[in-house]
Structure 1
Amino acid sequence: MSIKGTETGIAGLISLVSELLESFDRLDISKRQYVGYVLLPASTFLAVTVGVALVVSLPLSVKLPIVGIGLLVFASAVGYPKLYLNSRRSHIDNQLHLVMTHMTVLSTTNIDRMEVFRTLAREEEYGVAAEEIGRVVHLVDTWNQSLDDACRRRAKRVPSKMLADFFERLGYTIGAGQPLEEFLLSEQDVMLTNYETLYESALANLEVMKDLYMSMILSMTFALVFAVVLPILTGTDPTMTVVAVIVLFVLVQSGFYVVIRSMTPYDPIWYHPENGAPGDVRLYGALALGGVGSLLLIAVTGGGIVGVGPGLPGLLWFLNPVPLPLYVCVPLTPLLFTGVILRREETAISARDEEFPSFIRALGATESAKQSTTTKVLESLREKDFGALSPAIERLYRRLSVRIEPEGAWRRFAIDTRSYLIQKFSEMYLIGRRMGGDPKQLGELISANMNAVIQLREQRRQSAVTLIGLVYGITAASTFAFFIGLEVVSILADLSADLDVDEMDFGQIIYAGVYDIPVIEFLLLTIVLFNAVVSSLMIRTIDGGNPANGYIHFVTLTWVGCLTAIITRTLVNDILAI
């Protein structure tokens, strides 16, 4: 078994090396340039760090980090091409379902198939996917290759396997004489299946990361509790020990946030027009009100600390004394108002998304049946109940009925909904209709794609809910452990101060004099605050919402941590005092 395991490990290493070497060939610059501009300087830097560690007389604790920095720079230079290609692949895979839907809509119109590719290549919003389509256009327009040859050639170079397979199938199908429209319509089920598999795989990976996150945070919690308690037996400086563990805690949480952010599928909810939207005034007003309120409370609290103004004890006159954790959570409370306002708007956007597939399907079917204009069809459709989308439909009808150009009316419709998906799919429907596409076919195509995305979003929302429960539980449990240790140390310190150390020789057993309890309590509250920041960002990353909505969880998690700290210290003090 050991020999077989060794062979598997060697095979994996060979595969990794071959992938790294292949990634150098796919960079936008030549291998010679990359070696000269990146690898050679990184190797020189590594040699310098190793030379400094060998020649200069320094402690081992200093030499190791110096060499570690050199190794990190060199490893980054070696692994960057692979990371770069993985990033491009991720961008393509996340946008491919929209790209293919857009391509299918264009193919059902009366334009040339190369114009379909040229149109998509100009869509900057599709990012890397648009660049790859642009390279196909470049091969056809500049090098006079046929579309099928260009697709097959580009399939060998794209970093995304999904796009490479699509280009391969497209090239052979076009070469065999099948129309582009027929091929793309038949590819819709394959595309949606691949996208759903990719999306669900990312959500499954996030579930694994949640378990790892919980294990690591609990491990860091035990380490921090030991850092608080052990110095009373060893006599080491507890402040430096706690700071060192807190730095490690911060690095672990930050690392998990970066990994989770890279693994989360790209699926934005909000649409942000370039010139803003009418509702932005209310949203920015909520943001300003929460921010100004928080700054005022911070100023009042800080002024009280330095002896200017009533301070927090003046605001919380019914508490005497005011616990230190309240100095952290009370000034942040106004931000909760901002989070609530943005959460309500995001809930409304999601409600409009759920109604849009039925609306666009009904619009396309009715236009096709009546052979009428969109304005005439909307005159009857606006009387139907489309829930949260009805006000936007009413405004769309009014704009079209007063002869506002369709592009402007539909653009305002997307701005009214503030939905990213509605903006993309309504733009596709408008382009398809303008270029002669069948409205019924367009409506059914767009409706099917959007329904698939909405179902995946529901799974993502459930994943976010489980993360919320996990984060709140970990916050309460970790804070409870932190402050139990702190209160036990505080009581032992008070006990040793009341005893006659010279008579009982107690100082050789308990080193209470090394503790500065207020400083350690402040450091523990700092990690509670940092945990609230990172956890709220993680929640927003997984559910795909606006980052400003994280203020709700940021404030709530801070309050949970601070109240847990107050209750824990009070209960432990009362129990041990009995």
Structure 2
Amino acid sequence: MAVKQFGDGLATAAQLTSEVMESYEQLDISKGKYVGLVLLPAVFVFLGSVVGLVALPLPFAARVPIPMFGGLVLFAAVIYPKIYLSSLETKIDNQLHLVMTHMTVLSTTNIDRMEVFRTLAQEEEYGVAAEEIGRVVHLVDTWNQSLDDACRRRAQEVPSDAMADFFDRLGYTMGAGQSLEEFLVSEQDVMLAQYETRYESALSNLEVMKDLYMSMILSMTFALVFAVVLPILTGNDPTATVAAVIVLFVFVQLGFYAMIRATSPYDPIWYHPDERAPGDVKLWGSLIGGGGLTFVLIGITAAGMFGYGPGLPGLLFFLDDVRLPLYLAVPISPLIITGVVLRQEEQAITARDGEFPSFVRALGATESAKQSTTTDVLTTLRDKNFGELSEAIERLYRRLNMRISTEGAWRAFTRDTRSYLIQKFSEMYLVGRRMGGDPKMLGELISKNMNAVNQLREQRRQAAMTFIGLLYGITAAATFAFFIGLEIVAILADLTSDFGLDQMDIGQIVYPGAYDIPLIEYLLLTVVLFNAALSSQMIRRIDGGNPANGYIHFVLLTWLGAGTAIATRTLVNAILSI
């Protein structure tokens, strides 16, 4: 068994090495330039970090992270080409379901199949996927290849396996004489199944990341507690030791944030139009108000700390003792105003997304049955209750009834909804209708795709809720561990000072004089603040919401850490002082 596992490990390492070497061939620059501009500087950084480990006049615990940083730089430089290609594959896979849906919509219209590819190649929102389609168009227009030959040729070089498989099957199918529309309509179920598989796989990876994150953070918590407590027995500089462990703590959290960012499925909720949208005043007002009040409180707190006013004790006059953690939590509290307003808007967007499939399916079926315009259909359809979407539908009807251009009316409709998916699918429906597509088929196609995405989003929200509970639990547990160690050390230092033990032989066993308790408390509170900031952005990455919506969790996690710190020190001091 051990031999087999060793052999499997060697095979995996060999395969990874081969993939990394192959990725160097697909870079936009030559291998020689990459070695000279990236690899050699990374080697020098690593060698310099090794020299720093030996030569710098710092405690050993503080020097350990230096070569780790240098090794990380070198490792990143070596595998960057593989990471780059993987990022391209991820970007393509994230947009592929929208690209294929858009392509299917265009194929049902009266335009030539090459025009379908040319139209998609010009869609900048599809990013790398649009560039790959543009390369197929380039092979046809510049090198006079047939579309099926161009698809098969590009399938051999595209970074995404899913898109390569799609191009390959599309090329052989069209070469056999099947029309583009027939192929794409039949591919819808396959495409949705693949998209659901990738989405659910990403959510499963997040579950694994959650367990790994909990293990690593708890390990770093124990390390930080030991860094606080052990110097009282060893006589080492506790401030330098704590600072070194905090640096490792920060690196671990940044690493997990990067992995969560790479693992989370790309499925944005918000649509950010270039034009002004309804509700902008409310959103910007909450951002300016919350941010402005935060800066005012930070200024008042800082002025008081430097003796230029009452400071935070003046604001919290009803408290007899303003503890240090409150200096961290109170100034950032107004940011919760921004978070609450954006959260309400995000919930409204989610509700509109849930109603849109029913609306577009009813719109397409009615247009097809009555053989009438969208305006005539909306005359009766707007009376139906579509929840949060009803107001936007009413505005769409009024704009169309006022003879505003159809494109302008639908563009304003997507601004009203602020939904990324509604914007994309509304554009597809509009283009399909303008080019002669069957409205019933368009409505059913778009409704089916958006229902599938909404179901996946519900699973994503459940995953986000469990991760939120984990982060709040870890924050409370870690802060409790930090400050129980700090309070024990502070009490031991006070006892040593009160009884004059530092003048006796026991002073060779206990070293309380090395501690600067307020400075260490500042450092621990910095960890609490950093953890709150990064955890709030992890939550936003997992649920796909607006980053500013994370202000709620940022404020709540900071208050949770500050409250736990105050309660822990108070409780431990009361127990040990009995």
TM-score, normalising length from structure 1?
A: 0.96
CA distance 1:51–1:316, shift in 2 (3 Å): closer
Structure 2 counterpart of 1:253: 253
* Mapped partners of 1:73, 1:508: distance in 2: 42
1:198, distance to aligned residue in structure 2 (A): 0.2
Q: Which residue of 2 aligns with 1:414?
A: 414
Could you tell me how far 1:35 is from its partner in structure 2? 2.2
| Cα gap change, 1:212 to 1:53, in 2 (>3 Å) | closer
* Structure 1 residue 403 displacement after superposition: 0.3
Alpha-carbon spacing, 1:17–1:534, altered in 2? closer, same or farther (3 Å): same
> Which amino acid in the other structure matches residue 392 of structure 2?
A
Distance 1:56 1:114, change over 3 A: closer
2:34 equivalent in structure 1: 38
Asked if 2 retains the 8 angstrom alpha-carbon contact of 1:496 and 1:506, the reply is no
Change (3 A) 1:503 1:59: closer
Amino acid in structure 2 at the alignment position of 1:522: Y
Measure, in 1, the Cα distance between the counterparts of 2:282 and 2:252.
37
1:19-168 to structure 2, matched below 5 A, reads 19-29=19-29, 34-42=30-38, 44-45=40-41, 59=55, 74-168=74-168
Deviation at 1:233, TM superposition (A): 1.0
Task: Give the match for residue 475 of structure 2.
Answer: 475
What code does the residue aligned with 2:471 have?
V
Distance apart, 1:521 and its partner CA: 0.9
Counterpart for residue 530 of structure 1: 530
> Could you say if the C-alpha distance between residues 56 and 396 of structure 1 is closer, same or farther in structure 2, counting changes exceeding 3 Å?
closer
1:386-407 deviation digits (Å, cap 9, x = unpaired): 0000000000000000100100
Classify 1:24/1:47 alpha carbon distance in 2 versus 1 (closer, same or farther; 3 Å).
closer
SS in 2 for 1:394: helix
| Pairing of 1:192-203 with structure 2 (within 5 A) | 192-203=192-203
- For 1:334, give the aligned amino acid: P
CA distance in 2, matches of 1:148, 1:368: 33
Q: Confirm or deny: 8 A CA contact 1:325 1:565 kept in the other structure.
A: yes
Structure 2: give runs of 5+ residues left out of the alignment: none
In structure 1, C-alpha distance between the alignment counterparts of 2:348 and 2:378, rounded to whole Å: 22
Residue segments in structure 1 that go unaligned for 5+ positions in a row: none
> What is the CA distance between 1:59 and its match in structure 2?
3.1
SS in 1 for 2:552: helix
Looking at structure 2, the residues matched to 55 and 500 of structure 1 have their Cα atoms a distance apart, in angstroms, of 43
Distance 1:144 1:77 in 2: 40
Residues 1:46 and 1:135: Cα distance change in structure 2 (over 3 Å): closer
Deviation at 1:76, TM superposition (A): 3.7
TM-score when scaled to structure 2? 0.96
- The reply to whether residue 439 of structure 1 matches residue 435 of structure 2 is no
* Cα distance change on mapping 1:495 and 1:53 into 2, 3 Å: closer
- Distance, in Å, in 1 between the alignment partners of 2:350 and 2:527 is 34
Matched, 1:186 2:193: no
* Higher mean displacement: 75-84 or 467-476: 75-84
The residue type equivalent to 1:90 in the other structure is T
TM superposition shift of 1:473 = 0.4
Deviation for aligned residue 1:52: 7.2
- Structure 2 partner of 1:174: 174
Task: State the secondary structure of the residue aligned to 2:143.
Answer: coil
Kept in 2, the 8 Å contact 1:367–1:374? The answer is yes
Measure how far apart 1:36 and its partner are: 2.0
Q: What is the rounded CA distance, in whole Å, between the counterparts of 2:66 and 2:535 in structure 1?
A: 32
Q: Deviations over 1:524-547 (max 9, x none)?
A: 111000000000000000000000
C-alpha separation between the residues in 1 aligned to 2:464 and 2:198?
18
Give the alignment's Cα RMSD to 1 decimal.
2.1
Match of 2:7 in 1: 7
Question: One-letter code of the match for 1:162?
Answer: A
Q: Match of 1:39, as an amino acid?
A: V
Structure 2 counterparts to residues 380-529 of structure 1, below 5 A: 380-501=380-501, 504-529=504-529
Shift of 1:6: 3.0
CA deviation profile, 1:184-217 (whole Å, cap 9, x unmatched): 0000000000000000000000000000100111
Cα shift readout 1:30-57 (whole Å, capped 9, x = no counterpart): xxxx222111445544675688799999
Q: CA offset at residue 63 of structure 1? A: 10
The answer to whether the Cα contact below 8 Å between 2:46 and 2:74 also exists between their aligned partners in 1 is no
**Is the 2:25–2:31 Cα contact (8 Å) retained in structure 1?**
no
- Measured at CA, do residues 188 and 311 of structure 1 come closer, stay the same or move farther in structure 2, by a change above 3 Å? same
Structure 1 letter corresponding to 2:519: V
Aligned length: 574
Quick one: distance in 2 between partners of 1:450 and 1:168?
A: 26
Contact map agreement 2:53 2:64 (CA 8 A) in 1: no
Whether contact under 8 Å (1:227, 1:241) holds in the other structure is yes
Q: Is the 8 A contact 1:147 1:171 kept in 2?
A: yes
Paired AA for residue 2 in structure 1: A
Answer yes or no: is the 8 Å Cα contact 1:410–1:426 preserved in 2. Answer: yes
| Residue of structure 1 equivalent to 2:546 | 546
